Amino acid sequence: MSKTTFTALIWEEDGVYVSKCPEIEVASAGDTPQEALENLKEAIELWLENAKELGFLDDYSPMFSTKQKFTSQIEMDI
């Protein structure tokens, strides 16, 4: 079993904290940022279990095996 790092985005929306993992498009929520993060971790674990069971986890192998990931913020007028 290998380990990988996932990105967690968390923001407040109408009094609830939304959490999202952009690598695999999984999202969750919670009443606090910590709860949203814990719920996202559980959602990712379930996604990984299903991906293994359905046989498509290998499709994500290049992303999971890379040692460097970069994140950035881009400010735009909307």
Instruction: State pLDDT tens for residues 6-37.
Output: 999 999 999 999 999 999 999 999 999 999 99
Q: What is the pLDDT of residue 64?
A: 82
Rounded to 10 degrees, what is the CA torsion of 10, 69, 25, 47? Answer: -100
Flag whether pLDDT at 44 surpasses 90: yes
Nearest to 25 by CA among 7, 42, 4: 7
> Which pTM value belongs to this model?
0.86
